[in-house]
């Protein structure tokens, strides 16, 4: 029996549309054991079948290595909400691939895991930090494997995560983003991506706030989150340096370097938005982990 733990991730980080992502201290835990037939527990009944993304990813990995599917008992225990912009699907994909390797004796590097998971997900911005930990800037040269630049994130930073009780579907979020941007907008983004990654490394919240001024996706996606403006105002008034949409939403993530500010702000948010779940998170630095039970 093996146990795989995969962190949630926040993609884009405001300014880094489809390029930046960060692992955070919220986790999905999966246990796997060979069995006579497929059984899946710990998730809603409609996902307890061969279409479960964990099992699909396991089978796809086996096929890549020329291995046939086999019976497996899978248990899923997760704190990562589904379809809220925290990389829940990436945790499933990464766990399935890692389990396929472990249960068949294959050895894979983290770089190979990123490449395999990217083929399933279609993009590396969530799976890369889920595997590597920390903050990651990813790009895929044509015809080549993904290239991932890993940035350590200051341990002083706290990421106050606000999760509304409704989904924003990725397809809908992509529809509202313009397919072409002005050169001036591209230049605006490029400098700020460098500023944001440096701010995360150093814990400089003033730099993070100055850099987090996106003009590509957040001005359009915020309209899909009814609570966006009110939550942003509450966060900034309460001492947060800045706030971004996590992935395609609906989760919002505020940044501070003061744990006390984060706790007071969490109380204020719970009072004003009782329908939203809140977490005070740090950056996960280890990425996906596996242990034999």
User: Known binder of ligand: residue 87?
Assistant: yes
Q: What is the tally of structural domains in the chain?
A: 2
Q: Which H or E element spans position 158?
A: strand 158-163
Name 113's bridge partners.
none
User: Known binder of ligand: residue 150?
Assistant: no
User: Known binder of ligand: residue 185?
Assistant: no
User: Known binder of ligand: residue 183?
Assistant: no
Per-residue pLDDT at 249:
87
Indicate if 198 and 226 belong to the same structural domain. Answer: yes
- Structure tokens given for 126: 């969530």
Per-residue pLDDT at 101:
95
User: Known binder of ligand: residue 81?
Assistant: yes
Indicate if 242 and 97 belong to the same structural domain. Answer: no
- Structure tokens given for 283: 């950056």
d(CA 265, CA 269): 6
Q: Is the CB of residue 248 less than 8 Å from the CB of residue 167?
A: no
Q: Where are the alpha helices (DSSP H) in the chain?
A: 53-64, 88-104, 110-121, 127-132, 170-175, 183-202, 205-211, 218-221, 228-237, 259-272
pTM of the predicted model as reported, rounded to 2 decimal places:
0.92
Indicate if 42 and 134 belong to the same structural domain. Answer: yes
d(CA 17, CA 217): 7
The domain that holds 122 is classified in CATH as 3.30.230.10
- Range of 27's domain? 2-152+284-292
Indicate if 121 and 255 belong to the same structural domain. Answer: no
User: Known binder of ligand: residue 118?
Assistant: no
User: Known binder of ligand: residue 89?
Assistant: yes
SS3 assignment, position 291: strand
Q: Where are the alpha helices (DSSP H) in 122-154?
A: 127-132
- In the DSSP assignment, the letter for residue 46 is G
Indicate if 112 and 227 belong to the same structural domain. Answer: no
Indicate if 137 and 191 belong to the same structural domain. Answer: no
String of DSSP letters for 69-124: P--EEEEEEE-S-TTSSS-HHHHHHHHHHHHHHHHHT----HHHHHHHHHHHHS-S
User: Known binder of ligand: residue 143?
Assistant: no
Indicate if 233 and 140 belong to the same structural domain. Answer: no
User: Known binder of ligand: residue 66?
Assistant: no
Per-residue pLDDT at 170:
81
Rounded to 10 degrees, the C-alpha dihedral 196/199/204/209 comes to 0
Indicate if 251 and 164 belong to the same structural domain. Answer: yes
Per-residue pLDDT at 122:
83
Low-confidence ranges of the chain (pLDDT < 70): none
């Amino acid at each position: 029996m093996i146990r795989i733990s995969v962190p949630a991730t926040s993609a884009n980080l405001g300014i880094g549309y489809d390029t930046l992502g960060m692992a955070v201290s919220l986790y999905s835990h999966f246990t796997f054991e060979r069995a006579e037939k497929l059984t899946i527990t710990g998730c809603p009944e409609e996902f307890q079948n061969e279409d479960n993304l964990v099992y699909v990813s396991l089978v796809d990995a086996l096929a890549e290595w020329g291995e046939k599917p086999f019976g497996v008992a899978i248990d899923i225990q997760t704190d990562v909400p589904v379809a809220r912009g925290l990389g829940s699907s990436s945790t499933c994909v990464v766990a399935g691939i890692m389990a396929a390797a472990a249960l068949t004796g294959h050895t894979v590097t983290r770089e190979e895991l990123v490449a395999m998971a990217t083929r399933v997900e279609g993009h590396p911005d969530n799976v890369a930090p889920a595997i590597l930990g920390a903050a990651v800037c990813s790009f895929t040269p044509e015809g080549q494997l993904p290239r991932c630049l890993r940035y350590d994130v200051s341990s002083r930073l706290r990421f106050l995560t606000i999760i509304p009780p409704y989904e924003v579907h990725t397809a809908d979020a992509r529809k509202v983003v313009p397919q072409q941007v002005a050169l001036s907008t591209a230049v605006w983004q490029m400098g700020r991506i460098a500023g944001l990654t440096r701010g995360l490394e150093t814990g400089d919240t003033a730099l993070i706030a100055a850099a987090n001024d996106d003009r590509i996706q957040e001005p359009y996606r915020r309209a899909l989150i009814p609570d966006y403006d009110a939550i942003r105002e509450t966060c900034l008034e309460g001492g947060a340096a800045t706030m971004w949409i996590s992935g395609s939403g609906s989760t919002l993530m505020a940044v501070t370097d003061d744990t006390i500010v984060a706790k007071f702000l969490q109380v204020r948010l719970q009072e004003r938005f009782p329908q939203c779940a809140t977490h005070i998170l740090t950056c996960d630095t280890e990425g996906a982990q596996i242990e034999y039970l």
